[in-house]
Amino acid sequence: MEKLLIEPSKIRKIAFVGDHLPRKCGIATFTSDLLAAVATAHPQSQCFCVSVNDIKGGYDYPEVVRFEIDEQDLSSYLRAADFLNISNVDIVCLQHEFGIFGGPAGGHILAFLRELRMPVVTTLHTVLREPRSDQRRVMQELVSLSTRVVVMAERGRQMLQEIYEAPPAKIDLIPHGIPDVGFVDPTYFKDQFGVEGKVVLLTFGLLSPNKGIEYVLKALPEILNEFPDVVYIVLGATHPNELREHGEAYRVSLEMLAKKSGIEKSVIFYNDFVELENLKEFIGAADLYITPYLNEAQITSGTLAYAFGAGKAVVSTPYWHAAELLADDRGVLVPFADAPAMAKAVNDLLRDDTRRHAMRKNAYRIGREMIWSNTAQLYMHSFEQSRLQGAASSRKSLLTKTLDRRPRELPVLKLNHLVRMTDSTGVFQHANFSIPNFSEGYCTDDNARAFILAVLLGEFGEELEVVRAMATTCAAFLQHAFDPQTQRFHNHMSFDRQWLDEEGSEDCQGRAIWALGVGVGRSPFRSFQMMAGQLFALALPAMTRFTSPRAWAFGLIGIHEYLTRLSGDSLVNQTRETLTGRLMELLEGNATPDWCWFEQELSYDNAKLAHALILSGRATSQPEVVKRGLDALRWLNEVQISEKGHFRPIGSNGFYKRGGTRAAFDQQPIEAQAMVSACLEAYRATSDGWWYEQAQRAFDWFLGWNDLGLELYSSESGACGDGLHVDRLNRNQGAESTLAFLLSLAEMRLAQNMVTSFKEPIALGA
β-partners of residue 49 are 16, 65
3 state DSSP class of 410: coil
Angstrom distance (rounded) from CA 347 to CA 351: 6
Report pLDDT digits (tens) over 295-326: 888 888 889 999 999 999 999 999 999 999 99
Helix (H, G, I), strand (E, B), or coil: what is residue 427? strand
CA distance 92 to 77: 14
The C-alpha atoms of residue 766 and residue 751 are separated, in whole angstroms, by 13
pLDDT at 754: 75
Specify the pairing of strand 482-483 against strand 488-489.
Answer: antiparallel
What is the structure's pLDDT at 673? 98
Neighbours of 532 (CB within 10 A): 28
Rounded Cα distance, 691 and 681, in Å: 9
Q: How far apart are CA 295 and CA 595, in angstroms?
A: 56
Measured CA to CA, the distance from residue 379 to residue 30 in angstroms comes to 13
* CA 518 vs CA 60, 531, 761: distances in Å: 37, 12, 21
What is the rounded distance in angstroms from the CA atom of residue 697 to the CA atom of residue 153? 49
Please provide the size of the chain in residues: 766
C-alpha distance across the termini of the chain, in Å: 42
Return d(Cα 300, Cα 298) in angstroms, integer. Answer: 6
Give the pLDDT confidence score for residue 462 in this predicted structure: 67
pLDDT of residue 375: 96
Q: What pLDDT was estimated at residue 300?
A: 87
Residue 277 is predicted with a pLDDT of 81
Which parts of 310-461 fold into alpha helices (H)? 320-325, 339-351, 353-367, 372-388, 391-394, 416-420, 444-460
The secondary structure of 684-703, three-state, reads HHHCCHHHHHHHHHHHHHHH
How does DSSP assign 621-661, residue by residue? T-HHHHHHHHHHHHHHHHHTB-TTSSB-PPPTTT-EETTSP
DSSP 120-136: EEEEES---SS--HHHH
pLDDT digits (tens, 9 = 90+) for 720-757: 999 999 999 999 999 999 999 999 999 998 888 777 77
Q: Are 490 and 444 in contact (CB under 8 A)?
A: yes
Q: How high is the mean pLDDT in each 10-residue block of the chain (766 residues)?
A: 56 96 92 96 94 92 96 90 94 94 90 93 94 90 95 94 94 94 88 90 91 96 96 91 84 94 94 83 92 90 92 94 91 96 97 94 92 95 89 42 57 95 98 96 98 91 83 97 97 97 97 98 92 97 97 98 94 97 97 96 97 97 97 98 96 96 96 98 93 96 96 95 96 98 94 73 40
Neighbours of 14 (CB within 10 A): 25
DSSP 371: B
The Cα–Cα gap between 610 and 9 comes to 60
> Which residues make Cβ contacts (< 8 Å) with residue 130, sequence separation at least 6?
297
Residue type, 180: D
Check if the beta carbon of residue 723 is closer than 8 Å to that of residue 667: yes
Rg (C-alpha) for the chain, rounded Å, is: 30
Amino acid identity for residue 530 in this structure: M
Q: Which positions ≥6 away from 585 have C-beta within 8 Å?
A: none
Nearest Cα neighbor of 95 from 70, 57, 75, 124 is 124
Q: Report d(CA 481, CA 141) in Å as an integer.
A: 46
Residue 549 confidence (pLDDT): 98
- pLDDT of 261-274, one tens digit each? 999 999 999 988 87
Give dist(CA 682, CA 612) in Å, integer: 10
Q: Regarding beta strands 442-443 and 492-493, do their DSSP bridges make them parallel or antiparallel, or are they unpaired?
A: antiparallel
Q: Quote the pLDDT of residue 759.
A: 60
